[in-house]
Amino acid sequence: MDWIQAVVLSAVLAVSWAAEDLSFPPGFRFGAATAAYQVEGAWNEGGRTECTWDKFVHEDPRRVADQSNGDVACNSYHLWKKDIEIAEELGLHFYRFSISWSRILPTGFSNQINEEGANYYSNLIDGLLEKGIEPLVTMYHWDLPQSLQDLGGWTNPLIVDWFEDYARVLYNLYGDRIKHWLTLNEPLIMCDGVYNTGVFAPGLFSPEVGAYYCNKYALLAHAKAWRLYDEEFKPKYHGKVSLANQLVWFDPKTKEDEALAELVIENCAGRYSHAIYSKEGGWPPSIEKHMQELSKKRGYPRSMFPSFTQEEIELIRGTHDYYAFNHYTSRIVRYAEEGEEFSTWPLGDAVDLNLKIEKGEGWAQGASSWFFVNPPGIRNQLIWLKQKYGDLEFMITENGFATFDGRDDQDRIQYYRDYLEQVLLAIKEDGVNVTAYTAWTLIDNFEWMDGYNVKFGLYEVDFNDPERKRTPRASAHYYASVIKSHSLDVPTTRNEL
Ligand code: PNW
């Protein structure tokens, strides 16, 4: 290399060094999340009545890997002040938590409000606001009052009105203090996860039909709750309402698999987004067509996929103030070879696409069986959403890493570092308007069928201690320093933190 080349090269390096700006845009916000059944405990205290998860785990403890349950969990019902302390220690801009429907409405219906339950969340909200932390509320994170489940739960069309009534109660109680609402957490898991596998509460297995009716009524319930806020509460409170979708990113294995991967994305992201966010509304056309053909093939007299009336399409279309999603993992999609067994995850058996879904080469596995690490997935997901639904405001409402032993959590730090870097690239290189990021989760908690074996917490919780002591992990220190410096330009090793 002669000296001219050397000068040019060092100039190029200097420019690209400066261009590698690891800071987040001003106004970008960081938070952490939990959910009522996973942290609160106090399952039969303070007027709370039975929810689907109570019944599911009490009826047969073997449904959960360590035969545990959420009866006490992190005892956040009593220790909520500790949670606020932690949120403050981390420097969170917001804390996302969910409200237990059966703690607020013991009958499931809005005829009777349980004052003690209502006060619990009111105190939590006020406590957060006092510390300058925004409370972000999820109205429903999978814990349906058992009384409503007994009437068919999410497959009964009446749930649309019951949910709207519940939302009205929450807007009346907390609307003056809540600026960001999420109606439903992950309807994909609430519907497909529940009815196509039978392994989530309420433990019903109804492939082909259950998930799709649930899908339709979940969208309608969300839409009614959104419209109620928009018409009656937004004019005075100026808040925003959305829902949190679960999005798994799917890459095609080869060029030939591209259309197939797109169909799989539409089947997961699209079935819970198109009706709300697309210009035309309704189901993704590719899915509706596929399901009609499949229903015929399977001998149903009508499509097992419920259609929308024009009125329903209009009701749901446009019911968003931002796009919120939870994201953890990715998969590779390809056609199955002759004689090879199809994959069903996370689609149930209902889709019948002759496809194989697998992990990519070199992807590390987290503690949950479904968990594989692929940081570029979150960026690709953001690009896909922007291309499909337009230049919306995006909020990442969950992202985090699962371990068995939480003590040395260098892997968790690396996960946060690598996923956040991809979020930054989406913002800076692809112009996606991402405004917030939420770590799952604030504290170790009841990880559904994995019980307490699988740990997602920034803080470790000692479940043998009646006080449920919370202790920061190295990843808590890492996240706090990212928040403080508003940048990824911070140390990532345990010793330097
Ligand atoms: C989410 N998947 O669930 C939930 O919102 C949380 O309550 C939960 O604790 C967290 O993620 C970690 O599991 C998911 O199969 C369940 O891809 C399943 C999947 C993703 C998220």
Segment 310-334, tens digit of pLDDT: 999 999 999 999 999 999 999 999 9
pLDDT band at 33 (very low <50, low <70, confident <90, very high): very high
User: Cβ neighbours of residue 90 under 8 Å, at least 6 residues apart?
Assistant: 32, 442, 458, 476, 479, 480, 483
Whether the pLDDT of residue 353 is over 90: the answer is: no
Whether residue 50 lies in the annotated active site:
no
% the chain with pLDDT above 70: 94
Tell me how far apart the alpha carbons of residues 226 and 241 are, in angstroms, rounded to a whole number.
Answer: 6
Whether the pLDDT of residue 411 is over 60: the answer is: yes
% the chain with pLDDT above 90: 86
Q: Backbone phi, then psi, for 110, in 5-degree steps?
A: -90, 15
The closest residue, in CA terms, to atom 2 on ligand 1 is 370
pLDDT band at 388 (very low <50, low <70, confident <90, very high): very high
* Ligand 1 lined by 328 (C-beta under 6 Å): yes
Integer angstrom CA distances of residue 264 from 268, 287, 293, 496: 6, 9, 16, 42
Whether the pLDDT of residue 3 is over 80: the answer is: no
Q: Which helix (H) or strand (E) holds 313?
A: helix 310-316
* Ligand 1 lined by 109 (C-beta under 6 Å): no
Least confident of 56-70, 207-221, 223-237, 401-415: 401-415
Tell me how far apart the alpha carbons of residues 485 and 494 are, in angstroms, rounded to a whole number.
Answer: 17
pLDDT at 18: 45
| Average pLDDT estimate for 445-457 | 97
Determine the distance separating the centroid of ligand 1 and the alpha carbon of 366, expressed in angstroms.
13
Tell me how far apart the alpha carbons of residues 384 and 258 are, in angstroms, rounded to a whole number.
Answer: 13
* Ligand 1 lined by 366 (C-beta under 6 Å): no
Determine the distance separating the centroid of ligand 1 and the alpha carbon of 326, expressed in angstroms.
8
| Average pLDDT estimate for 361-388 | 96
Average pLDDT, the chain: 94
Whether the pLDDT of residue 1 is over 60: the answer is: no
Whether residue 186 lies in the annotated active site:
yes
* Ligand 1 lined by 138 (C-beta under 6 Å): no
The closest residue, in CA terms, to atom 18 on ligand 1 is 189
Least confident of 20-29, 317-326, 335-344, 431-440: 335-344
pLDDT at 302: 86
Whether the pLDDT of residue 20 is over 80: the answer is: no
pLDDT at 493: 87
Specify whether the CB–CB gap between 483 and 439 falls below 8 A: no
pLDDT at 408: 67
Tell me how far apart the alpha carbons of residues 378 and 388 are, in angstroms, rounded to a whole number.
Answer: 15
Three-class SS state of 190? helix
Specify whether the CB–CB gap between 221 and 275 falls below 8 A: no
- Put simply, whether the predicted model's pTM sits higher than 0.85 gets the answer yes
Tokens 């013991």 sit at which residue?
106
Least confident of 128-132, 166-170, 279-283, 367-371: 367-371
Determine the distance separating the centroid of ligand 1 and the alpha carbon of 13, expressed in angstroms.
41
Whether the pLDDT of residue 217 is over 70: the answer is: yes
Whether the pLDDT of residue 351 is over 80: the answer is: no
* Ligand 1 lined by 326 (C-beta under 6 Å): yes
Tell me how far apart the alpha carbons of residues 195 and 228 are, in angstroms, rounded to a whole number.
Answer: 29
Each residue's pLDDT tens digit, 104-142: 999 999 999 999 999 999 999 999 999 999 999 999 999
Whether the pLDDT of residue 16 is over 90: the answer is: no
156 or 405, higher pLDDT: 156
Q: How many residues does the chain have?
A: 497
pLDDT at 5: 64
Whether the pLDDT of residue 446 is over 90: the answer is: yes
Q: Which domains does the chain have, with CATH numbers?
A: 25-252+309-327+372-485 (3.20.20.80)
pLDDT band at 6 (very low <50, low <70, confident <90, very high): low
* Ligand 1 lined by 98 (C-beta under 6 Å): no
495 or 337, higher pLDDT: 337
pLDDT at 242: 98
pLDDT at 10: 57
Q: Which amino acid is at 393?
A: E
Determine the distance separating the centroid of ligand 1 and the alpha carbon of 404, expressed in angstroms.
16
Three-class SS state of 1? coil
Tell me how far apart the alpha carbons of residues 389 and 281 are, in angstroms, rounded to a whole number.
Answer: 11
Whether the pLDDT of residue 75 is over 80: the answer is: yes
pLDDT at 17: 45
